[in-house]
Amino acid sequence: MNFSRIAEIERFAQALIKGAAMGLYLTPKPGLVDLADCGSHPDLTMAKMERSLHILADYLEEMIRSLADNEHFICRALIGRKAEEVMFKVLGTNSHKGYIFLSGLLINARWHAGSHDESAMEKAVVAAAAQYFTAQGEADATNGRSARLRYGTGGIVREAQRGLPSLFTCGVPAYLDAIGRTGSFSIACFHTLSRLMQTVEDTTTLHRGGAMGLARIRRDGLRLEQVIAENGDHISFLEDLNFEYSRLNLTMGGVADMLSLTLGYLTACGLLTGERDRSRHHGLRSIGRCAAGR
């Protein structure tokens, strides 16, 4: 039994939970639950989301047990499904359904990759996603599946199958670029949010607002990036956007998950403060460009 390997993956899991907490508490987040309000989610509260974080932590602990016991992969897919059921039973809503899948995938990838190295992690995510979706068979009748069929988008499935580009090619470079330039965690978070809004094929947005809704999020993400770059009042801009999104019943739960996953992965790599030289320590690529092609 390799106890240092288990200690390492436990630290990684703790970092992913911290990332979800940092993403939750970032305020304001248009249309989403934060310290100000519940956005366009009357079914969610801060207390429910915090309870959800504890369910996530228990889930990842079970995932690690399965990995350490070298169980068959299908056991971990069932653990994920069970966590979704527990979350829905306890909270009556999909508070972190997407993050259950994403964090489970990343824990599996980190275990098999053996390091934080970005290219090793990407390859391991692609392999885990292929294994999972091959075993998954006919997907459930979900909002995400309806959106993928109706709009020809990939949603969380294609995000996973492509090795989490919104994490490795968008979120991580965007955060490190901003923290390197400004030294401000808050600015780096909002800059990362702006880039993810322009990149993530968020099926929760499509479900609520259709193609026009997604185009709105992309446009607002670019505007937010510009307001931050011009040292404008991005907080007021976000507060106004939150009012608009709540009125339009528009949300971006997938963007929220990818922001949390970015903060969690950077925490695991010891890069959140931006002080360590990322290229030397983790084989992370130089400042990339988000899928938005910029």
Ligand X SMILES: CC(C)(COP(=O)(O)OP(=O)(O)OC[C@H]1O[C@@H](n2cnc3c(N)ncnc32)[C@H](O[C@H]2O[C@H](COP(=O)(O)OP(=O)(O)OP(=O)(O)O)[C@@H](O)[C@H]2O)[C@@H]1O)[C@@H](O)C(=O)NCCC(=O)NCCS
Ligand Y SMILES: Nc1ncnc2[nH]cnc12
- Return residues touching ligand X (CB under 6 A): 41, 76-77, 80-81, 84, 93-94, 96-101, 104-105, 108, 128, 132, 136, 139-140, 142-145, 155-156, 159, 200-204, 207-208, 251, 253-254, 257-258
Q: How far apart are CA 74 and CA 94, in angstroms?
A: 22
Q: Are 118 and 282 in contact (CB under 8 A)?
A: yes
Partner from ligand Y, ligand X, none binding residue 32, C-beta < 5-8 Å depending on class: ligand Y
Burial of 131 (C-beta count, 10 Å sphere; 0-12/13-18/19+): middle
Q: Cβ of residue 170: shortest distance to ligand X, in angstroms?
A: 11
Toward ligand X, which CB reaches closer, 107 or 189? 107
Q: How far apart are CA 35 and CA 43, in angstroms?
A: 16
Q: Cβ of residue 128: shortest distance to ligand X, in angstroms?
A: 6
Residues that bind ligand Y (rule: CB under 6 A) add up to a total of: 9
Partner from ligand X, ligand Y, none binding residue 155, C-beta < 5-8 Å depending on class: ligand X
Toward ligand Y, which CB reaches closer, 96 or 195? 96
Partner from ligand Y, ligand X, none binding residue 108, C-beta < 5-8 Å depending on class: ligand X
Q: Cβ of residue 4: shortest distance to ligand X, in angstroms?
A: 23
Does position 129 interact with ligand Y (CB under 6 A)? The reply is no
Selected from 84, 159, 220, 257, the binder of ligand Y by CB under 6 A is 257
Query: Quick one: tokens of 218?
Result: 């992309």
Q: How far apart are CA 227 and CA 162, in angstroms?
A: 31
Span from 57-65, 208-216, 220-228, 253-261 in contact with ligand Y (CB under 6 A): 253-261
Q: State which of positions 28-67 bind ligand Y (CB under 6 A).
A: 32-33, 41, 44
Per-residue x/- marks for ligand Y, 84-103, CB under 6 A? ------------x-------
Which residues lie near ligand Y (CB under 6 A)?
A: 24, 32-33, 41, 44, 96, 253, 256-257
